[in-house]
């Protein structure tokens, strides 16, 4: 007999070799219907996995990330099976589950069209109706290669060839379809109740632009049609809010052929950018940060010393100056460290908080570029804090408070992850343990709920990541707090302690916006281009009804400008309705409609972007209203 302990800490005795699905069958009809996978001793597995020793067991449903991934991974196999039935000559690459869905990469001579997706979806429905069981089997490496060669799957053979020679390889079979796969999966294709193929895109094999371009089909799946309908509605809303589309319509920025991945900011975009940076500077001055600026190009020796060369060189750009090798910085921290090292510091100075709006460059594959979300140069709102070990908790709490304040200004909810030591980490386990616990203690002191993300820390230290949740439910990782014992060691940073001896400071890396460019993209989509008044490139437009009011309109505009309000007067010979519609398309917060009555009474007729006509006001009252809105940063 073996003992199985469940999530609620209750235990039960079972025969050795019992399958998880058999246990699920004893736990009630509701769970039997909803169970998709299981977490056995910390690892996500299929429900037909046998338990052969005392174990911890958690049954996973669609409400659990592991359950969703298993269902969507199975749907990717259903997609591949349907494609092979319809297009036998297509070769399979990879097909993982991803956040919010799945994809599968195919090598096909003819690109998939929309009509192909419709046909593939119909065949997928047939496979789901067949309710095919998924069964796992394992083979030695040489037999695995032979099996995939028999099926003509060259990409699968390449994947297997890259595995160790003594490795046992796993496959999954459903009906006539076999795929190289580590799993896990749901028990049968019938578990997929609702799915949709959403798009087709090109993708280089193994993400290398030197390899062949494959066809990637994206999709998603759910256990209820209502969930799918809600998700598809969100996708439509996301298209409406797409910052690339709005960026063109509002004339914020562009990406030119001469600089793929290198954004050009237009005057409207620069207004938003400058406002974000001004707000950032003001709040950092209040929080006792000192602003610095470090060079974009620095010698490669620096990047060897910092560890970025070993961990990041594939993403770096290089140049030569006076026959010496230099790198364009992908990170700001080594330059900031050199500023700290310029002189000796006393413990009385600590903590030292240095902030930088630093332009960095990172090589991204062309297929990964995406508007302002994924670019090759961007400005990080970096800060590096140097402190004594005794100051860690208070400093991390200070950063948490600052991040929280910023995100509330923009109306974002967020959730927090604590990421721990990765495989390629620098430093000792002891240092990592101390650093990780310090971050945990700070989060707990602030009563911040967080999820532990095992093995996803930076190579030099654990981190706290802040994930924004926008108004349609999507999440974006922006802010981060990274605790670093390693770089102070690499650069031999010191301060003079109270004992007169040299000591090693602890370093914190942190961002709030993350990237100015990406944050502008997120804000554009959050507000659907209708930026709050304080951020709007143009805050007020004065619209005279006829030529008789042009002079009054111009005088109004000048008066508003004297209060630093961004304003235009529209003195074109167009009809008023046309001017109003155009102002709405430009998403201008306020329109002031001027006719004979307004001129006679020295008033303005105010039209609010959100509320429509709000009536007549004297100019002073309107100025007070908009100034308060700007000062309070009302969303």
pLDDT digits (tens, 9 = 90+) for 321-353: 999 999 999 999 999 999 999 999 999 999 999
Q: Is 306 part of a structural domain of the chain?
A: no
Contacts of 298 (CB under 8 A, 6+ apart): 326, 327, 329, 334, 335
pLDDT in the model for residue 435: 86
Q: Domain for residue 323, yes or no? A: no
4 falls in which pLDDT band (50, 70, 90)? confident
Q: Which domain CATH number covers 424? A: 3.30.930.10
Residue-wise pLDDT for 27-47, tens only, equals 777 788 899 999 989 899 999
Between CA 303 and CA 310, with CA 307 as vertex, the angle to 5 degrees is: 95
Same-domain check for residues 580 and 441: no
CA distance 565 to 133: 66
pLDDT (0 to 100) of residue 287: 96
635 vs 467, more confident: 467
* CA distance to 19, 403, 458, 493, 495, per residue, from 398 (Å): 50, 9, 21, 23, 22
User: Looking at the domain assignment, is residue 303 inside a domain?
Assistant: no
Helices (H), 242-384: 243-249, 267-286, 300-306, 308-312, 333-340
Pair 86, 48 in one domain: no
Listed residue (516, 506, 487) closest to 334, CA to CA: 487
CA dihedral 271, 273, 279, 285 (to 10 degrees): -120
- Distance CA(237)–CA(489), nearest Å, equals 49
Instruction: Please measure the distance between the N-terminal and C-terminal CA atoms of the chain and give it in whole angstroms.
Output: 61
Average pLDDT over residues 345-367: 93
Query: Does 582 lie in the same domain as 481?
Result: no
How far is the C-alpha of 289 from the C-alpha of 291, rounded, in Å?
Answer: 6
Q: What pLDDT, on the 0 to 100 scale, is given for residue 470? A: 83
For residues 577 and 517, state if they share a domain: no
User: Is 132 within a domain?
Assistant: yes
Buried b vs exposed e over 145-170: b needs ≥16 C-beta within 10 Å?
A: bebbeebebebbbebbeeeeeeeebe
Residue 309 lies in a domain: no
Say yes or no: 597 and 455 in one domain. Answer: no
Query: From CA 550, how far away is CA 570, in angstroms rounded?
Result: 8
Q: What is the pLDDT of residue 276?
A: 97
Q: Which two tokens stand for residue 453?
A: 């993300």
Average pLDDT, the chain: 92
Catalytic residues: 333, 362, 380, 382, 384, 463, 509
Q: Do residue 584 and residue 492 come from a single domain? A: no
Boundary of a domain, candidates 61, 86, 111: 61
What CATH number has the domain bearing residue 43? Answer: 3.10.20.30
Between 51-65, 187-201, 274-288, the lowest mean confidence (pLDDT) is in 51-65
pLDDT at residue number 499: 94
Q: Residue 159: enclosing H or E segment and its boundaries?
A: helix 154-161
Q: Give pTM, 2 decimals.
A: 0.83
Q: Choose one of 526, 550, 574: the last residue of a domain.
A: 526
- Looking up residue 134, the CATH number of its domain turns out to be 3.30.980.10
Pairing label, strands 502-503, 352-361: unpaired
pLDDT computed for residue 589 by the predictor: 96
Closest among 523, 535, 163, 499 to 347, alpha carbons compared: 499
Q: Does residue 104 fall inside a structural domain?
A: yes
CATH number at residue 550: 3.40.50.800
To 10 degrees, the CA torsion angle through 586, 588, 592, 594?
-10
Q: Is the pLDDT of residue 408 over 90?
A: yes
Q: Which long-range contacts (CB under 8 A, 24 or more apart) does 189-192 make?
A: 189/74, 189/78, 189/127, 189/128, 189/130, 189/131, 189/132, 189/134, 190/128, 190/129, 190/130, 190/131, 190/132, 191/36, 191/71, 191/74, 191/223, 192/71, 192/74, 192/75, 192/78, 192/128, 192/221, 192/223
Domain boundary, last residue among 470, 492, 526 = 526
Residue 486 is predicted with a pLDDT of 83
* Mean pLDDT in residue range 566-588: 92
Non-local (6+) Cβ contacts of 323 within 8 A are: none
397 and 269 in one domain?
A: yes
Other C-beta atoms lying within 10 Å of the C-beta of residue 524: 26
Q: Which band of pLDDT confidence, cut at 50, 70 and 90, is reported for residue 313?
A: confident
Residue 301 lies in a domain: no
3-state secondary structure of 502: strand
Confidence of residue 461 (pLDDT cuts 50, 70, 90): confident
| pLDDT score for 422 | 86
Kindly state whether residues 571 and 603 are assigned to the same domain.
Answer: yes
What is the model's pLDDT at position 387? 94
- Domain containing residue 337: 264-294+330-526
The pLDDT assigned to 172 comes to 96
Residues 231 and 166 in one domain: yes
Kindly provide the b/e burial profile for residues 247-259, where b requires at least 16 CB atoms within 10 angstroms of the residue's own CB. Answer: beebebbebeeee
Let me know whether 485 and 462 are in one domain. Answer: yes
The helix (run of H) or strand (run of E) holding residue 368 is: none
- For residues 561 and 538, give the distance between their C-alpha atoms in angstroms, rounded to a whole number: 11
pLDDT tens digit sequence for 191-247: 999 999 999 988 889 888 788 999 999 999 999 999 999 999 988 988 899 999 999
User: Would you tell me how many other CB atoms lie within 10 Å of the CB of residue 231?
Assistant: 18
Q: What does the pLDDT average to over 514-523?
A: 94
- At 146, the pLDDT band (50, 70, 90 cuts) reads very high
pLDDT value at residue 223: 93
169, part of any domain: yes
Percent of the chain with pLDDT over 90: 68
Section 112-135 average pLDDT: 94
Same domain, 513 and 565: no
- For residue range 379-399, what is the model confidence (pLDDT) as tens digits? 999 999 999 988 999 999 999
Q: Are strands 377-387 and 297-299 parallel, antiparallel or unpaired?
A: unpaired
Angle 516-526/267-286 helices, nearest 10 degrees? 110
The encoded tokens of residue 525 equal: 């989509």
Q: Are residues 426 and 574 in the same domain?
A: no
Structural domains of the chain, count: 4
């Amino acid at each position: 007999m073996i003992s199985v302990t469940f999530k609620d800490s209750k235990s039960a005795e079972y025969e050795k070799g019992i399958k998880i699905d058999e246990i699920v069958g004893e736990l009630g009809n509701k769970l039997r219907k909803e169970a998709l996978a299981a977490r056995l001793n910390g690892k996500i597995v299929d429900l037909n996995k046998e338990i052969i020793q005392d174990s911890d067991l958690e049954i996973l449903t669609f409400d659990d990330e592991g359950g969703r991934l298993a269902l969507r991974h199975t749907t990717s196999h259903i997609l591949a099976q349907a494609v092979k039935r319809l297009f036998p000559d297509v070769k399979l690459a990879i097909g993982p589950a991803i956040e919010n869905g799945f994809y599968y990469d195919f090598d096909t001579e003819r690109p998939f069209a929309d009509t192909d997706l419709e046909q593939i979806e119909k065949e997928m429905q047939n496979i789901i109706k067949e309710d095919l069981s998924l069964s796992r089997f394992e083979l030695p490496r040489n037999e695995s290669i032979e099996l995939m060669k028999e099926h003509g799957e060259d990409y699968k053979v390449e994947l297997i060839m890259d595995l160790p020679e003594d490795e046992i390889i796993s496959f999954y079979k459903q009906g006539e379809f076999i795929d190289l796969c580590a799993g896990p999966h749901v028990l049968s294709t019938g578990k997929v109740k609702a799915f949709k193929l959403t798009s087709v895109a090109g993708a280089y094999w193994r993400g290398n632009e030197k390899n062949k371009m494959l066809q990637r089909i994206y999709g998603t799946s759910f256990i209820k049609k209502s969930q799918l309908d809600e998700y598809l509605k969100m996708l439509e809303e996301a298209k409406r809010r797409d910052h690339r589309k709005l960026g063109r319509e509002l004339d914020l920025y562009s990406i030119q052929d001469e600089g793929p991945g290198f954004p050009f900011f237009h005057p409207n975009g620069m207004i938003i950018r400058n406002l974000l940076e001004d707000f950032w500077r003001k709040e950092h001055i209040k929080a006792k940060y000192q602003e610095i600026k470090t060079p974009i190009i620095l010698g490669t020796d620096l990047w060897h010393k910092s560890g970025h060369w070993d961990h990041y060189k594939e993403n770096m750009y290089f140049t030569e100056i006076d026959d010496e090798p230099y790198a364009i910085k992908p990170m700001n921290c080594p330059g900031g460290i050199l500023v700290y090292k310029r002189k000796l510091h006393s413990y009385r100075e600590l903590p030292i908080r240095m902030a930088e709006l630093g332009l960095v460059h990172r090589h991204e594959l062309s297929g990964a570029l995406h508007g302002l979300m994924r670019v090759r140069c961007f400005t990080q709102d970096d800060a590096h804090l140097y402190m004594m070990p005794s100051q860690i908790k208070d400093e991390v709490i200070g950063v948490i408070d600052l991040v929280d304040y910023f995100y509330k200004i923009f109306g974002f909810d967020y959730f927090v992850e604590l990421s721990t030591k990765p495989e390629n980490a620098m430093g000792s386990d002891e240092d990592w343990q101390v650093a990780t616990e310090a971050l945990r203690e700070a989060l707990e002191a602030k009563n911040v709920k967080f999820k532990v993300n095992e093995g996803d820390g930076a190579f030099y230290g654990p981190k706290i990541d802040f994930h924004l949740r926008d108004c349609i439910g999507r999440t974006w990782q922006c802010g981060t707090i990274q605790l670093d014992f390693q770089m102070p060691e690499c650069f031999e940073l010191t301060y003079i302690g109270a004992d007169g001896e040299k000591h090693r400071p602890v370093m914190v890396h942190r961002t709030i916006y993350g990237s100015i460019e990406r944050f502008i993209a997120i804000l554009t989509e959050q507000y659907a281009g209708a930026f709050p008044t304080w951020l709007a490139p143009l805050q007020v437009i004065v619209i005279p009804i006829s030529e008789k009011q042009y002079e009054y309109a111009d005088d109004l505009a000048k008066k508003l400008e004297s209060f630093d309000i961004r304003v235009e007067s529209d003195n074109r010979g167009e009809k008023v309705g046309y001017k109003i519609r155009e102002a709405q398309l430009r998403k201008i917060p306020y329109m002031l409609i001027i006719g004979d009555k307004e001129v006679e009474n020295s008033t303005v007729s105010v039209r609010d972007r959100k509320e429509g006509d709000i009536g007549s006001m004297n100019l002073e009252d309107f100025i007070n209203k908009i100034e308060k809105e700007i000062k309070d940063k009302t969303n």
